């Protein structure tokens, strides 16, 4: 699993969680995954609030290419590639329904 925090403004960041085959297989066996935000470097993450969490999948080849990226512009392009199958498209006007408790569904 690869985690990538991306600062989106002065107060918020998005967190990308990228799962690999091994992670998916473990989760299928009910071996939950977790991300400990307090393990991120204090600067700048401790003073920012998570705005959005995105969970994506990547092959080992895609992970290697992602890790090799050094510039923010390239990183955002790589992440866009990893979400190429996303059917929810807020930039095209899509809107998810408001959050509902599982008890109310």
In a structure prediction context, what are the per-residue pLDDT tens digits for the chain, which is 105 residues long?
A: 999 999 999 999 999 999 999 999 999 999 999 999 988 898 899 899 999 898 999 999 998 888 888 787 888 888 888 888 777 666 665 556 565 666 665
CA distance 100 to 105: 7
What pLDDT sits at residue 80? Answer: 82
- Return the pLDDT at 9: 94
Beta bridge partners of 87: none
The C-alpha angle with vertex 30 and arms to 41 and 99, in degrees rounded to 5, equals 70
**Separation of alpha carbons 33 and 35, rounded Å:** 7
| pLDDT score recorded for residue 92 | 62
Strand 2-7 with 12-19, pairing: antiparallel
pLDDT at 29 (0 to 100): 97
C-alpha–C-alpha distance, residues 34 and 26, integer Å:
12
Give the residue carrying structure tokens 């408001």: 98
How many other CB atoms are there within 10 angstroms of residue 45's CB atom?
17
CA–CA separation, 14 vs 52, rounded Å? 5
């Amino acid at each position: 699993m690869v985690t990538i925090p991306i600062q989106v403004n002065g107060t918020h960041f998005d967190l990308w969680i990228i799962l690999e085959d091994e992670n998916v297989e473990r989760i299928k066996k009910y071996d939950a995954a977790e991300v400990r935000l307090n393990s991120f470097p204090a600067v700048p993450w401790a003073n920012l609030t998570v705005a959005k969490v995105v969970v994506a999948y990547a092959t080992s080849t895609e992970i290697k290419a992602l890790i090799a990226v050094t510039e923010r512009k390239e990183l955002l392009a790589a992440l866009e590639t990893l979400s190429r199958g996303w059917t929810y498209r807020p930039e095209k006007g899509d809107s998810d329904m408001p959050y509902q408790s599982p008890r109310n569904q």
